[in-house]
Amino acid sequence: MKPSTSYHTQHAPLGAFASFTVGRHGARGGFGQSLSGPAQQNVFVGYRPAGESTWRLLPFFDPGPQRGAEAFTGESGTTAPPSRRALASEEFTRDLNWASDVWRSGSFTFGLATPWDRTPDPARSNKVTQQAAFAPCIYGWIEFDNHAGSGPVELVFGIGDSAHPWRPLNDTAADLVGFAHTHTLGYATRPSPEVEARQAFAFEQPAFRDHRGLHLLGPENALVFQVPTGARRRFPLALGFYQGGQVTSGLTARFHYTSLFRDLEEVLRYGLAAHRRRLQLAARRDAALARSSLSADQRWLIAQATHSYFGSTELLRRGGKPLWIVNEGEYRMLNTFDLTVDHLFFELAWFPWAVRDTLVLFRRRYAYRDTVHGPEGRRAAGGISFTHDMGVSNHFTPPGRSSYECRDLHGCFSHMAMEQLVNWICCAVTYARHTRDLAWLRREAATLRACARSLERRDDPDPQRRDGLLKWDSDRCGPEGSEITTYDSLDVSLGQARLNLYLQVKALAAWWLLEEAWAALGDRPEAKRARASADLLARTLEAKYDDQLAAFPAVFEGGNRSIILPAIEGLVFLLHLGREHLLRRRYPALLARLEEHLRTALQPGICLDATSGAWKISSTSTNTWFSKIALAQHVARRLFPHAMSPAARSADRVHADFQRGPLLGGHAMVDQFHSATSQPLGSLYYPRGVTSVLWLNERPSSTP
């Protein structure tokens, strides 16, 4: 069966926290600024065949009744039924690629491009470079090949917004034809005799026309293009966003692009002027993904995930300096650290300064020092850690505090001191080693040292009692609470941080990376101490393997018998830095057991859903997360290819079909869903799936 094309995709510029969302059949979408889900506009894209009165439109609108002229005339039946028909899914194709999304129906084509490139540090690059990188603009085109046509054909791109009439751009900008909502968003093309602006209660048959043929009260606005008989035409579209003024509180900041563009009109002009170049760039990104040895479903997952990631990015400007944010999808938390650690791989490839800046902001404003409590009621000073996030909904929380973390809890919304401490180390060293930014690493040496001490003390403040495992909870949790991991909504197999398998393996990676950092910085005693910690932890871990279970238990206490995929997650940083062989050489016994663990896990009914075949994060939870599946797949294929059962290998199609399917397809990329039914369980419109770009690092041989 052909994959479904009925899913929303976020078409989003880098750093504008804005998306033009379309694709779900029969659903609204359109231009959304900083929303938690799709906007609610009808999007009209299609054509009127020669000699026909009915428009054929891509199914980007809700065909239900709208409030039309009746609201003014007080009489029903004033608005004629519209002459439009939504194309059925079998009448068109859709091709979502890494930086483009193209629909074709016969001679008709509609495309949207969201290109990006390696992006230099906005604190150090020139305006021209930055305009290309950060123009809050999407590049569309609409096309018809009327060579064999029997008469002229009309094309349309338009918006139906029942909440506000839009304004015709040509009123104030002679070189643009299109429409805008206030100063904040809109679309345009260049004026020409072949393009006509329409504004009406129904774009295809304006019942009311002012002196230039528009009706400014009309909720529908559109560009209608003429394609003469025997001709082929391709019209460029610029879709832009512009939010001026302060957009955040706590730390007040503007959008960075406001220093590059004066207003929406300037953005749209730029979008049209740069159109050809930007489409070429998008084609390069698409080609790169196509060149990979990945399957069509894998490529689709990467493309869809990357689009949603861009929709959550927000580059601000404060005190003349850039301030990087990734919003947490529908939740809109700012720079959630346990997402930063997953976005790391994409960001290191394209804009590593974003990783660095985020780490610095965590260290400067969102670090804290706590006290901790451990087994047998012991209490002690803890050390440095970092908050879960920096705020929510464009509000920066006070220093050292997140929007998420609450007291006296054992589950969702508890603190994540262990998790974020490990995350800072893994991100910082992976960044510095990947980019060879030794100068930065040196500047952060004191923080790294504090992190190392903190990590040791969360094993045990008493050096004599250490076994490498993190087991001391932060007092920030309160007397009644305990720490959790990023897997907050899973069961205890991943919810509890203390003595959690996932976190211990990640801590092993942290020690390894610390060792590398100290070696690079020439601090041999610290390097030795880090290595000793890693070795101790590895030995302790090995011993936790349960032969009966043929796996590691998820939690090393309370008789837990869950089996989890994130057992191998922490190894990703070492793979990313190319330490695969070193790792195999240094910890062969542990790796052998992790391979056995994975072999056990990747059986139907364990960490493969028995009904659907989807990968499951935990054997004891049906809540599974795509971003983490993608990460586990990557580590498994690179490090433990023999554990990949045929069932495990064939799951990409299941994961892709879930995302494209009836339950998830209306929310762009969804991270959390039910492994059997694909019911969404949270994390809609979510950036984290971009972790799947790790797959591009896999050699063909590792994807058998």
Strands (E) in 58-182, as ranges, are 84-86, 93-96, 100-105, 108-113, 137-145, 153-160, 167-168, 177-181
Binding to a second copy, residues 571-630 (CB under 8 A): 623
CA–CA distance, 664 with 668 (Å, rounded to integer): 7
Check residue 249 for interaction with a second copy (CB under 8 A): yes
Nearest to 538 by CA among 508, 567, 563, 511: 508
Q: Is 171 in the site for a second copy (CB under 8 A)?
A: yes
Instruction: Tell me which of 95, 190, 208, 542 binds a second copy, using CB under 8 A.
Output: 208
CB 366 to a second copy: min, Å: 14
Helix crossing, 337-350 with 417-435: angle to 10°? 10
In angstroms, the CA 569 to CA 429 distance is 17
DSSP string, 530-583: HHHHHHHHHHHHHHH-BTTTTB--SBSSTT----BGGGGGGGHHHHHTT-HHHH
Q: Closer CB to a second copy, residue 310 or residue 404?
A: 404
Binders of a second copy in range 368-387 (CB under 8 A): none
Count residues near a second copy (CB under 8 A): 62
Q: How far is residue 633's CA from residue 234's CA, in Å, rounded to a whole number?
A: 41
> Which range, of 205-213, 338-346, 574-582, 605-613, touches a second copy by CB under 8 A?
205-213
Between 537 and 576, how does the x/- string for binding to a second copy read (CB under 8 A)? ----------------------------------------
Rule CB under 8 A: say whether 394 interacts with a second copy.
Answer: yes
Instruction: Reduce the secondary structure of 270-314 to three states and give it as a string.
Output: HHHHCHHHHHHHHHHHHHHHHHCCCCHHHHHHHHHHHHHHHHHEE
- Pick the closer one to a second copy by CB: 36 or 107: 36
Distances from the Cα of 288 to the Cα of 114, 631, 693, angstroms: 15, 20, 12
Tokens of 675: 């492994």
Site for a second copy in 22-41 (CB under 8 A): 36
Question: Which residue among 50, 102, 231, 247 contacts a second copy (CB under 8 A)?
Answer: 247
- 244 part of the interface to a second copy, by CB under 8 A: yes
Contact with a second copy (CB under 8 A) among 235, 404, 431, 552: 404
Cβ count within 10 A of residue 264: 26
Report d(CA 3, CA 14) in Å as an integer: 28
The answer to whether 481 contacts a second copy (rule: CB under 8 A) is no
**Which token pair is 389?**
């996030």
End-to-end CA distance of the chain: 23
Task: For residue 406, state whether it binds a second copy (rule: CB under 8 A).
Answer: yes
The residue whose two tokens read 């479903």 is 297
How far apart CA 492 and CA 379 sit, in angstroms, is 24
- CA distance to 218, 385, 466, 533, 561, per residue, from 455 (Å): 62, 9, 11, 10, 26
Q: Does 474 bind a second copy (CB under 8 A)?
A: no
The interface mask with a second copy, positions 73-102, x = CB under 8 A, is xxx--x------------------------
| Contact status: 412 vs a second copy (CB under 8 A) | yes
681 binds a second copy, rule: CB under 8 A: yes
Mask: binding to a second copy, 488-517, rule CB under 8 A, as x and -? xx----------------------------
User: Is position 262 an interface residue for a second copy (rule: CB under 8 A)?
Assistant: no
Kindly state the smallest distance separating residue 490's Cβ from a second copy, in Å: 8
Closest CB to a second copy among residues 253, 315: 253
> What tokens appear for 513 in the block?
């990376």
In the bound state with a second copy, the residue whose beta carbon lies nearer, of 491 and 515, is 491
User: How far apart are the C-alpha atoms of 311 and 22, rounded to whole Å?
Assistant: 13
245 vs 646 by CB, closer to a second copy: 245
**Residue 164 interacts with a second copy (CB under 8 A)?**
yes
The answer to whether 663 contacts a second copy (rule: CB under 8 A) is no
Rounded-to-integer distance, Cα 583 and Cα 474, Å: 31
Token pair belonging to 398: 């006070």
Minimum distance of a second copy from residue 342's CB (angstroms) = 18
Per-residue contact string for residues 37-76; x = within reach of a second copy by CB under 8 A: --------------------------------xxxxxxx-
Q: Is 143 a binder of a second copy (CB under 8 A)?
A: no
Which span (79-87, 223-231, 241-249, 556-564) binds a second copy, by CB under 8 A? 241-249
Side by side, which strands form the sheet with 84-86? 84-86, 55-57, 42-48, 153-160, 220-227, 195-200
Of 244 and 641, CB closest to a second copy? 244
Verify binding: residue 172, a second copy, rule CB under 8 A.
Answer: yes
**Residue 476 interacts with a second copy (CB under 8 A): yes or no:** yes
| Separation CA 306–CA 308 (nearest Å) | 5
* Buried b or exposed e, range 278-310, using 16+ CB within 10 angstroms: bbebbeebbeebeebebbebbbbbbbbbbbbbb
Told to check if 209 binds a second copy by CB under 8 A, we report yes
Candidate residues 198, 317, 401, 458; the one interacting with a second copy per rule CB under 8 A: 401
Sheet of 623-625: strands edge to edge?
A: 623-625, 672-674, 680-682
Verify binding: residue 217, a second copy, rule CB under 8 A.
Answer: yes
Angstrom CA distances, 86 to 82, 111, 266, 591, stand at 11, 17, 34, 54
Q: According to the binding rule CB under 8 A, does residue 687 interact with a second copy?
A: no
Q: Cβ 534 to a second copy, closest distance in Å?
A: 34
Which is nearer to a second copy, 54 or 172 (by Cβ)?
172
Q: Near a second copy by CB under 8 A, which window of 39-47, 86-94, 243-251, 304-312?
A: 243-251
**Applying CB under 8 A, which of residues 97, 306, 672, 678 lies at the interface with a second copy?**
672
Q: Give the nearest distance from C-beta 317 to a second copy in angstroms.
A: 15
Nearer to a second copy, 54 or 249 (CB): 249
Of the candidates 163, 203, 208, the one whose C-alpha atom is nearest the C-alpha of residue 181 is 163
Minimum CB distance to a second copy, residue 394 (Å)? 6
Residue 205 sits in the site that holds a second copy (CB under 8 A): no
Which listed range, 4-12, 330-338, 449-457, 496-504, lies at the site for a second copy (CB under 8 A)? 330-338
Only one of the segments 229-237, 390-398, 461-469, 567-575 lies at the binding site for a second copy (rule: CB under 8 A); that segment is 390-398
DSSP line for 15-60: TB-EEEEE-STT--BEEEES-SS---BEEEEEEE-TT-SSEEE-S-
* Cα angle 77, 78, 82; round to 5: 80
Residue 391 touching a second copy (CB under 8 A) = yes
In the structure encoding, which two tokens stand for residue 611, read together? 């009904």
Distance of alpha carbon 13 from alpha carbon 631, whole angstroms? 25
**78 vs 697, beta carbon nearer a second copy:** 78
Interaction of residue 487 with a second copy, rule CB under 8 A:
no
Q: Footprint of a second copy on this chain (CB under 8 A)? A: 36, 69-75, 78, 163-167, 171-172, 180, 182-183, 208-211, 215-217, 244-247, 249-250, 330-333, 391-395, 397-398, 401-409, 411-413, 476, 488-489, 623, 672, 681-682
